Amino acid sequence: MTDLSPDSILDLWPWPALSVDPATDRICAANADAARLLGPGAVGERFLTFLDGDAGELVVFADAVQHYGRYWTREFRLRCPGEDACPCELTGAFVETPDGSRLLVALVRLDELQARQDRTETAVLHRSGLLEWKRTQTFFSELERQNQLILDAAGEGIYGINADGQTTFVNRAAQEMLGWSAEDLLGRDTHAIIHHRHLNGDPYDHRDCPIYHSFRNERVSRVEDEVFWRKDGRPIQVEYVSTPIYDGQVLAGAVVIFRDITDRKESERRLHEAMAEVDALRDRLEQENAYLQEEISSARAHYDVVGQAPAIQRTLKQVELVAPTDANVLITGESGTGKSLIAAAVHKASDRRRRSMIRLDCAALPENIDAELFGQIRVNGRGIDKAGRLELAHGGTLFLEEIADLPLEFQGRLLNALRDQTVTRIGDDRQRRLNLRIIACTSRNLSREVMAGRFREDLYFFLNVFPIALTPLRERTEDIPLLAAHFLRLACRRTNRAEPRITTGAIRQLMSYPWPGNARELENVIERALIVSTGDKLRIEGLDAALPPARRPDGKVLTEQEFRAAEVENLVACLKLTGGRVAGPGGAAEMLGLRQTTLYSRIRKFGITPEMWAAEGG
């Protein structure tokens, strides 16, 4: 059983408490807390000595306790030994004991109460703060998780950098494209890891970097053709947008969104190359086509070489021998002896036959010889891109007709291009590779042209690797009947006419004529005869009248100067006869057995003007 005397109750009381004899105001007992508060010698002392108040107030308090059974007051301050008086709350109750009535007083220091109150409030605040913080944390981590999910789902590489250029986040696509993991990059200088060099190996100063500018100078940068360096050392071509990001008003860094465009760039490059190639091919094909059309319509192109004369047979053997090699061929022979025909035969029998034989008539060059030979490119929006004859002949054969007529100033340049097998179009700085086989021909004595200083010796040697000299028709008269029949057949086929007979008389007539114009002249004579022949026999007319006097073989040897003068005289005489008409049947070209272009070029070269033949005529 617990002893429930007032003194023992005091001991159980969890606050400092006393029992006071109200009659004497003496402290009868004090529990341990009260003894600690008031000092060990408090029992027996007057209660008032520990209170900062007068006896009257204490009597009022005791009366109130008496009256209400229990009462409390905060009117007193407690005087504890060694301390300043402190505010306190006294709660009193009366009890009757065998020793008389006692006033039980519980003492509570208000500062202690306040401290408890504060602690309680702090605890409450702390508890609610913790909860709030937890809620916020959950919210943010959920937000972050969602953001991360979104970032990771993005196909573009995304990374963030702070204002010091250090990586703050990096999404999965970025890690996959770069080969660098988040651990490799987070908190480190991104520029130094992935953006430190240009593609050509030059260092990339971070101050020049558009990403750096976006978080230093608050600038959105869009870049299309830079590289990021992968962990394995390989560059990837990227396009990126770098945008400054703000924390409130403060620039906090930048976010970079990038895409790997290596494949795209590679496809673009290939496409570009393919387009350029297609352009070049189309260009070449168009020009080749135009050229061939021209050839077909202008030339009476048939490549069958007719003739049984030993000279022709020897020529055919030479053709057979040289065709499969890539050796340059120089064909010489009088006008109309079949130089073009033999050149075509060499090309046709060569491995280059699948490609064209491109002709350049040096006796009839246009004004812009350079562009014609080497091609040109569009400069400052003027002119057109055009391949020259050399380029057109790439992979095939270049046939240089009447090479002796090529002006001296072009001979060196042509030789260089042919020897180096490269060509640079006028206005261009790109060298284009060539693969050409050269066949040249001339009706002049080229070594004599070299001696006279009109033709470069080095070009002569370059061209004259394999010479083929054609024999004039007058020295192989046995071929005249064959050729006449051949030309007649062609002309009839062309004009869709029945083939008239060639009488022996006509053959005799043809064989006794000296043929200064050679096979071409024979061809023209046959064509004219076909026009004038109405019956089934071919009528050959006016052979002698068409014979130019200066070419008649009279055994006299002419000097070069005399020969030129005679040539001019002959041309003028011929023009006089035709009334200045060069082309067409009965024109000067036909009469002389020359191609029209050759004749026009000679008229120009010798400076023959209409006044000359008109004056001679008048």
Ligand X SMILES: Nc1ncnc2c1ncn2[C@@H]1O[C@H](COP(=O)(O)OP(=O)(O)OP(=O)(O)O)[C@@H](O)[C@H]1O
Query: Which residues would be at the binding site for ligand X (CB under 6 A)?
Result: 300, 302, 305-307, 312, 333, 335-341, 401, 443, 483, 486, 519-520, 523, 594-595, 598
For residue 411, give the amino acid letter.
Answer: Q
Q: Can you tell me the distance from the alpha carbon of 9 to that of 412, in angstroms, rounded to the nearest whole number?
A: 136
Quick one: tokens of 144?
């972050």
In this complex, which beta carbon is closest to ligand X, that of residue 127 or of residue 448? Answer: 448
In this complex, which beta carbon is closest to ligand X, that of residue 242 or of residue 597? Answer: 597
In this complex, which beta carbon is closest to ligand X, that of residue 241 or of residue 358? Answer: 358
Tell me which H or E stretch contains 363. Answer: none
Could you tell me the smallest distance in angstroms from the CB atom of residue 470 to ligand X?
7
Least Cα distance to 187 among 206, 164, 155, 212 occurs for 164
Burial of 86 (0-12, 13-18, 19+ CB in 10 A): middle
In this complex, which beta carbon is closest to ligand X, that of residue 417 or of residue 594? Answer: 594
In this complex, which beta carbon is closest to ligand X, that of residue 171 or of residue 443? Answer: 443
Burial of 26 (0-12, 13-18, 19+ CB in 10 A): middle
Could you tell me the smallest distance in angstroms from the CB atom of residue 539 to ligand X?
21
Could you tell me the smallest distance in angstroms from the CB atom of residue 590 to ligand X?
12
Could you tell me the smallest distance in angstroms from the CB atom of residue 592 to ligand X?
10
For residue 535, give the amino acid letter.
Answer: G
In this complex, which beta carbon is closest to ligand X, that of residue 107 or of residue 502? Answer: 502
Q: Can you tell me the distance from the alpha carbon of 177 to that of 229, in angstroms, rounded to the nearest whole number?
A: 10
φ and ψ of 142, to 5 deg: -65, -45
Could you tell me the smallest distance in angstroms from the CB atom of residue 469 to ligand X?
12
In this complex, which beta carbon is closest to ligand X, that of residue 102 or of residue 359? Answer: 359
In this complex, which beta carbon is closest to ligand X, that of residue 337 or of residue 376? Answer: 337
In this complex, which beta carbon is closest to ligand X, that of residue 334 or of residue 391? Answer: 334
Q: Can you tell me the distance from the alpha carbon of 51 to that of 76, in angstroms, rounded to the nearest whole number?
A: 6
Please write down the HEC assignment for all residues of 42-69: HCCCEHHHHECCCHHHHHHHHHHHHHHC
Q: Can you tell me the distance from the alpha carbon of 128 to that of 134, in angstroms, rounded to the nearest whole number?
A: 10
For residue 299, give the amino acid letter.
Answer: A
Could you tell me the smallest distance in angstroms from the CB atom of residue 316 to ligand X?
9
Could you tell me the smallest distance in angstroms from the CB atom of residue 357 to ligand X?
13
By the 8 A CB rule, do 79 and 63 touch? no
579 conformational bin, left if phi > 0, alpha if psi -120 to 50, beta if neither: left
Could you tell me the smallest distance in angstroms from the CB atom of residue 310 to ligand X?
13
Query: Which stretches of 225-309 are DSSP H helices?
Result: 262-298
Q: Can you tell me the distance from the alpha carbon of 9 to that of 12, in angstroms, rounded to the nearest whole number?
A: 5
Q: Can you tell me the distance from the alpha carbon of 105 to that of 113, in angstroms, rounded to the nearest whole number?
A: 17
Could you tell me the smallest distance in angstroms from the CB atom of residue 346 to ligand X?
12
Could you tell me the smallest distance in angstroms from the CB atom of residue 514 to ligand X?
16
Beta carbons within 10 angstroms of residue 61's beta carbon = 21
